[in-house]
Each structure stands twice: as C-alpha cells, then as structure tokens.
Amino acid sequence: MFVSENLSVNAAGHLAVGGVDTVELAKEYGTPLYVMDEQVVRKSLRLFHDSMNKHYGGRGEVHYASKAFSCMEMCRIVASEGDGLDAVSIGELYTAVKAGFPMEKVGFHGNNKTNEELEYAVEVGVGHIIVDNISELHRLEKIAAKKNAQPKIMFRIKPGIDAHTHDFVRTGQIDSKFGFALETGEAFEAVKEAVSCKNVSLFGLHCHIGSQIFDIAPFEEAAKVMLGFIAKIKNELGYEIEGLNLGGGFGIKYVDENDPKPFEVYLEKVSEAVKAECEKLGLKLPKMFIEPGRSIAGPAGITLYTVGARKVIPNIRTYVSVDGGMADNPRYILYGSEYDAVVANKAGEERNEKVTIAGKCCESGDLIGENMPLQHAESGDIIAVCATGAYNYSMSSNYNRLQKPAVVFVNNGKSRIAVKRETLDDIIRNDI
C-alpha cells in the first residue's frame, strides 16, 4: 500500500511509522518535520554487512555514505552496528569525530579536498583517504611528510561504466569530474607514482558508478574492470593492491514503478563476480568495501508537512501547498525526482485525487511532485512524503530564510529529537 515497508495505518486511521502516530509527531514537534525510523536504518545496514559476510567470507566493510544523511545520532547508530563511514567534507568528518565515531573506519572522499580538509583527515586518523587526482596526491604527500604520518590511500578510478541513471548522478564515465581515467593511462601513471611515494601508502582502488541504479550488471562490470586494473598493476609493477572499494549507488523505491532488487542480491552477485575474476586473474581476494548511502537512509525517512492553501485551477490542476518545499527537499527541482505522498490523518482513505504538491518558496519549480495520487487534502491536514531519508535533510538550505526542520528518530513506539528545529535566531546567527 505504501512505497516504504515500515509505514502502516493505525487504529485511528492515521499513518504510523516505527509504531508512532505521525499526526501525533506533527503535533508534538511541529512541521515540516523529518522523521527517521531507526529500525529501518539498522535493518538495511545489517542486510549489507550480513550478506557481505555470507557471500564474501567476512572480508569486507560497509561504509555508510554519510552525505545521504549526516548528523551525530546517525553516526552513533552506524557505529553501534559496527559499520564504517564515508565522509566527503571536513563537516562530515567533524560530525563523526564529535559523535565519537571510530575514525579508522572512515574513508575520506571528495574531488577537490582543501589542504585544511586533508590535514584534518590525517590528524584525526581516518582509515583511508580516497585520492581523486594527481594534484591532491602531491598535496597529501607534503601534508603527510610535515605531520610525520603515512596515510593509507585509495585512488578513485573512472571505470568507464555507463550506469543507466540520471545524468547528474552518473559518475563512472570518462567525462566526469570524479577520479582518474583508465582509458587514457592517467590512472596507471598515478599508481606508478604512488607506489614509490614514501609518505602515503597505496592500499586500494575505488570506483563509484552512480546513484539510484537498479541493474546489477553495471556493478559486476565495474568490479571486473577494477580487478583487471589490479592485475595489470601486479603484473607490471609487482605491487599488490589490497583493497577494492566498489562505492554505493543501490537504488530504492520512491514510487510504485521502481523495482529495486533486495540489497543482499547485489552483494551476492558482486561477491561472486569478484571471486570468479580473482581466480581467473590469479589475484588474492581483496578486502571489499561498499558505500551505500541512499539505500540506508532513504527508505527510513519521511517528511511531514502541514497543508496550507488549496488552489483549484479548473481543467488544469489542483495545487496543494505545504509549509516546506525545495528548502527541505530540493530533489524535485534538482532532478525532477518522484515521490509518493499520503495525507497522514486520512491514511486509511482512498487516494482518489491527483494533485500537484507545491512548496512555499518563491520559485514556480518548487514542487514536491506533480500528478500525485492523494486523499482529498485541505488546510490543516498533515501530508507525509515517503522515502525522504536520503539527500533531503543533507541537501536542505535556508532559502527564503526558512528555518531548517527538526529531525526526529522513531523506534518501537517512541520518538526522540536528533536535530533541533532552527530558531529565528539561528537564521541571523552569523549576521553582523
């Protein structure tokens, strides 16, 4: 009935998440409100690490891609599951440090890390730094020498795989700002250089082919290409690459038409492909890393809004406006992303209207979606937008000087605040 399996209708006819009535949540914490179901986060993490253990003999690590949704409470939950983290900025690193995250289980990413960020990553002792380009390698060498450190690095490689997803979230092809190209020899030259570097230790290779991918084949293909490169490095330079990081990108269900494979199937197939290829090429099994972001945070989240205006434009469309929009969920205006929504206080009723849900920002494109099946929504109703756990809070802004919503976690019938709602004083906090 709902796109996310954790949602249900309770005895009051209201939408419930994690055993909590969403209408009550809206009353208690106000709207807009991000709600994260802790059990869904934990279950997804376990699906990934358990299947990695099962199909890859425990020689792997799951690094949650914290850019999908980062706050200290999320870091604590990931740490308590024994999983690692992928961070892409000093802010994400700082969040992890402050949450007491074991930094040796953190991979540090970014296509244009600043010296300040590299220094911080070395200081806090991240597990590995994923180096994106040659100038970063040179800068990192200097920083490491100065700090008398020898950070472990991986190289981000563009494996040349075309994953069928939105252009803006495709990253594996040669025309991408991320990583070293294989075809041009750029990656091999960088490896040659790193192998002889005293101040960094080349530990692994990384690729991430895109996001919201439903096919398994591109992941298998990417693994094969990467292992081919690992074999070339071994044969030509006599150097064994120990780590293979295959990134994230596993697709989730936003609307009924989406048909993601169960996450464990990805891991099973990819593990088999890696094992078969290693045998063929005479390679030791590398330690495998994956970096799921959306697939961990996305299905766990919903956003609650209060309906304000309802505008019927005869023969054209009906606008139902909510008290949030592109400032808390910019994915429609960025990618034209689709969502499923339900009137939380009428969740048991038929969704017999098709409406455009609009935000309150001063942009005509500020929509949650068009042509969305919905119960008859009126002023004062609560709308829940489903599967908003990833790339919503983390991409939120203060556009129009809106205050960022609070984040609440629910777990087995209880709710707790994880991020407070911004106050008006927060809005002017840095103004002079």
Q: What is the binding site for ligand PLP (CB under 6 A)?
A: 65, 67-68, 86, 109, 208, 211, 247-250, 291-295, 390
Nearer to ligand PLP, 52 or 382 (CB): 52
Nearer to ligand PLP, 296 or 341 (CB): 296
Compute the distance between CA of residue 106 and CA of residue 91 in angstroms, rounded to an integer: 13
Nearest 5°: CA angle at 417, between 291 and 49? 25
Nearer to ligand PLP, 71 or 390 (CB): 390
Compute the distance between CA of residue 140 and CA of residue 125 in angstroms, rounded to an integer: 13
Biggest CA–CA distance in the chain, Å, is: 72
Question: Helix or strand or coil: residue 326?
Answer: coil
Shortest separation between residue 84's beta carbon and ligand PLP, angstroms = 12
Shortest separation between residue 335's beta carbon and ligand PLP, angstroms = 12
170 alpha-carbon distance from chain centroid: 14
- Active-site annotation holds for 362: yes
Compute the distance between CA of residue 358 and CA of residue 347 in angstroms, rounded to an integer: 20
Shortest separation between residue 261's beta carbon and ligand PLP, angstroms = 14
Shortest separation between residue 401's beta carbon and ligand PLP, angstroms = 29
Nearer to ligand PLP, 65 or 372 (CB): 65
Question: Helix or strand or coil: residue 383?
Answer: strand
Shortest separation between residue 366's beta carbon and ligand PLP, angstroms = 23
Q: Of 13, 25, 19, nearest to 416 (Cα)? A: 25
Q: Of 298, 271, 290, nearest to 212 (Cα)? A: 298
Residue 356: both structure tokens together: 């455009």
Nearer to ligand PLP, 243 or 293 (CB): 293
Is 108 in contact with 129 (CB distance < 8 Å)? Answer: yes
Compute the distance between CA of residue 75 and CA of residue 102 in angstroms, rounded to an integer: 10
Q: Of 29, 38, 33, nearest to 383 (Cα)? A: 33
Contacting residues for 364 by C-beta, under 8 A, at least 6 apart: none
Set 71, 75, 197, 362: catalytic member: 362
Shortest separation between residue 9's beta carbon and ligand PLP, angstroms = 29
Beta strands in 246-344 (DSSP E): 287-290, 301-313, 317-322, 341-343
Shortest separation between residue 265's beta carbon and ligand PLP, angstroms = 15
Pairing verdict, β 353-358 and 367-374? antiparallel
Nearer to ligand PLP, 109 or 346 (CB): 109
Compute the distance between CA of residue 250 and CA of residue 264 in angstroms, rounded to an integer: 11
Nearer to ligand PLP, 286 or 292 (CB): 292
Q: Which helix H or strand E contains 355, and what residues bound it? A: strand 353-358
Is 19 in contact with 410 (CB distance < 8 Å)? Answer: yes
Shortest separation between residue 92's beta carbon and ligand PLP, angstroms = 11
User: b/e string for 63-77 if b means 16 or more Cβ within 10 A?
Assistant: bbbbbbbbbbbbbeb
Nearer to ligand PLP, 294 or 331 (CB): 294
Q: Give, in order, the Cα–Cα distances in Å from 110 to each of 156, 212, 227.
A: 10, 19, 23
Q: What residues are labeled active site?
A: 362
